Structure 1
């Protein structure tokens, strides 16, 4: 009985110490001085804002396609460069940046050509911007031009329709600001984290941290091949769509 009382007494003392320790931890985790929750180092990197941020990679300067190549044969891109813009040359094929990227902020401006009213739906001002060469943000003349919801301008092609249609009239410039996070794959080829994209079209959010389901296929379901960094690709869909002011900030 004596030993039992001793054990109980020791347990009681231990619980008391534990309680005091918990109280002490509570005090430490809720400091009363403001500087206890201030973080000074490392200092936040300075980026000078402007038309082109100081840390941006300029992918097209309005003068040269030196940063681009043909997807068809890996040779020089054969699109037309004139008046500060590059324009699709029908039959020249898709083009891609020579440099590959993972996570980024992309700025790109595009213009639908003046085309006859007889062209409708997907036949009018059609092109596309591919994240990592495989996930398409649709480019299309969607101004008073009805087509399927998940195929109009600002859509993740054949997956997610834009929240609204913010397309400028035919012949005017459109602006996309795209925030893209690449997928992360497991060692056995599964998806640990899917790709996500936010698209701001002419200052209006049309994709809000949208999950990309996989490759944007014309026919069939999305695929999820394992891959690393990839290029920015632009589509030749047969329409003379133009692009300008293309720059990217890696994140």
Structure 2
């Protein structure tokens, strides 16, 4: 498949609101590697075992401890006896694979696709400028005959470092295309990593692999190879391992005929009553046969060859109008807006299909796009590359090469909009949003600062969005509140607190300290990024004490105290209390959730480790 075509179509269809690249796997049958035992692996070495939940020690290199159980694949590491790599029984060609993994402090591992092409897994927490050897990088190839300093070549660094702290689960999704060979066994196309998502961020795309990377189990290349996890460089754990193999030939179209009709059609016309202005039998599906800029109907008929019976998902892009796809007499797609998606169950064989495309919006470029996904078939472009971007624009990105502030609307999960949000960016590439209406940090993220496209493009809607991997902290609510007792529910807003925001002031380095009145007491709320962007230290100071005042440090499904002053929230971030804190935090259960709260006398300092 030509991936330039694929990338253009992904852009067009995702912007049109149909399924994005993140959703491709939902359209195909995924398989899961069972982790009740080690039967899914070939001769598993002793350093690998199946366990229950592991935990890392933030202060100790290569330390992962675990309890008895199942569902977790754990590699224990011993410097004196480093252990060996783990090979899956799975032999794969084209594949989409995703999994969660946890790194110990200082740990190093890797996912070897076909046992030969390594995606690096590393404790890159705190690395500002990642290299190919960092987390999510495509490791270098290696040639010992080259001069010193040039032996490694062709590695690909991740676009940004979105790695999380040791002991926190990270999620990776890889779409791999195996190398191609002719009937004589000669390679005709290199292997490719079509995309690699780490913690929700696309960090590699269309990366070509000219050959095996360093550490490959052999120097050959083939259509199939074993999935392999590196086990001799550090302690690491894995869970929720899913894969989708793409081992079937993609559908093809033939016997194509097109007709073009002039007119402003609001729906599919009665073709028998119309005289075509053009018709023909093109070799490919394309809109280039249309010589009209606007107000036309394009109709295609033909045959589509389906090799494997089952469910097939089609995506149709028809910029500037409407369209539909019928296959074997079934309606597969009726577009909403300028694009649509649909799924039909089809038998194997040559099946008739029909496409219509009516266009009546003059500012949109004429273009026809159609893809198909099915059993064992990765999404494939059936049309040519003349695919519209549907008025796509270059993103308006705001970098934070220095401490940076941007006020905007902020949209949170669940349709929540923070109307008085302040985005605070840092050159350490750790950023946060502060809600001026609640005195709460509502999100924290690592990587790029802000995408202001929705705020500044065209008329804009006033919002910006994080350009990195985000940790949300729940619905906006007051950070500080007077609780009548330890079982009282935390409030949803500041009613009754006398809350009055007083803006913020900047220190000598451009970092804000937010100020407000609460219960009549002036409050100073200042946060600083920890070295290397490893977390955010927050200090809340009251000018005068308020009796019975608490600060809610965290809310989640599970909150666990790992040791005195250190808490793990939903396996996603840590709360670390400053040594000077006099009062002990309390974990309580309220409304089916857990909360971590702490009394505030006059000053409180803690850190969010992420």
| 1:212 matches 2:212 | no
Specify the alignment match of 1:111 in structure 2: 102
Select which of 93, 96, 101 maps to 2:84. Answer: 93
Partner Cα distance (1:92, 1:191) in 2 = 34
Q: Secondary structure at the match of 2:92?
A: coil
Select which of 179, 192, 208 maps to 1:183. Answer: 179
| 1:62 matches 2:39 | no
| 1:169 matches 2:165 | yes
Partner Cα distance (2:125, 2:31) in 1 = 31
Partner Cα distance (1:53, 1:67) in 2 = 25
Partner Cα distance (1:133, 1:218) in 2 = 9
Aligned pairs for 1:20-39 (under 5 A) are none
The alpha-carbon distance between structure 1 residues 208 and 177, as it changes in their structure 2 partners (threshold 3 A), is same
Specify the alignment match of 1:81 in structure 2: 50
Select which of 233, 238, 241 maps to 2:233. Answer: 238
| 1:156 matches 2:138 | yes
The 8 Å contact of residues 128 and 161 in structure 2, kept in 1 or not, is answered as no
The 8 Å contact of residues 107 and 176 in structure 1, kept in 2 or not, is answered as yes
- How much has 1:57 moved relative to structure 2? 1.8
Q: Secondary structure at the match of 2:206?
A: strand
The 8 Å contact of residues 65 and 77 in structure 1, kept in 2 or not, is answered as no
- How much has 1:99 moved relative to structure 2? 2.0
The 8 Å contact of residues 28 and 244 in structure 2, kept in 1 or not, is answered as no
- How much has 1:201 moved relative to structure 2? 0.3
Partner Cα distance (1:147, 1:98) in 2 = 36
Q: Secondary structure at the match of 1:177?
A: strand
Specify the alignment match of 1:199 in structure 2: 196
- Structure 1 or 2: more helix by fraction: 1
Greater displacement, 139-148 / 76-85:
139-148
- How much has 1:229 moved relative to structure 2? 0.7
- How much has 1:95 moved relative to structure 2? 0.8
- How much has 1:194 moved relative to structure 2? 1.0
- Structure 1 or 2: more strand by fraction: 2
The alpha-carbon distance between structure 1 residues 98 and 208, as it changes in their structure 2 partners (threshold 3 A), is same
Partner Cα distance (1:177, 1:139) in 2 = 13
Map Cα deviations across residues 165-210 of structure 1 (whole Å, 9 max, x no partner): 1101111011110000001134565431111111100110010111
Map Cα deviations across residues 6-52 of structure 1 (whole Å, 9 max, x no partner): xxxxxxxxxxxxxxxxxxxxxxxxxxxxxxxxxxxxxxxxxxx8x98
Q: Secondary structure at the match of 1:167?
A: coil
Q: Which has the higher contact order (CA 8 A, sep 6+)?
A: 1
Map Cα deviations across residues 74-98 of structure 1 (whole Å, 9 max, x no partner): x244312111211113333101111
The alpha-carbon distance between structure 1 residues 127 and 146, as it changes in their structure 2 partners (threshold 3 A), is farther
Partner Cα distance (1:215, 1:146) in 2 = 28
Partner Cα distance (2:130, 2:159) in 1 = 14
| 1:127 matches 2:130 | no
- How much has 1:112 moved relative to structure 2? 0.7
* TM-score scaled by length of structure 1: 0.66
Specify the alignment match of 2:220 in structure 1: 225
The alpha-carbon distance between structure 1 residues 227 and 218, as it changes in their structure 2 partners (threshold 3 A), is closer
User: What value does the CA root-mean-square deviation take over the aligned residues?
Assistant: 2.7
Q: Secondary structure at the match of 2:225?
A: coil
- How much has 1:109 moved relative to structure 2? 1.1
The alpha-carbon distance between structure 1 residues 143 and 227, as it changes in their structure 2 partners (threshold 3 A), is same
Structure 1, unpaired ranges of 5+: 1-48, 70-74, 116-123
The 8 Å contact of residues 68 and 95 in structure 1, kept in 2 or not, is answered as yes
Structure 2, unpaired ranges of 5+: 1-22, 53-70, 141-154, 247-610
Specify the alignment match of 1:102 in structure 2: 93
Specify the alignment match of 2:322 in structure 1: none
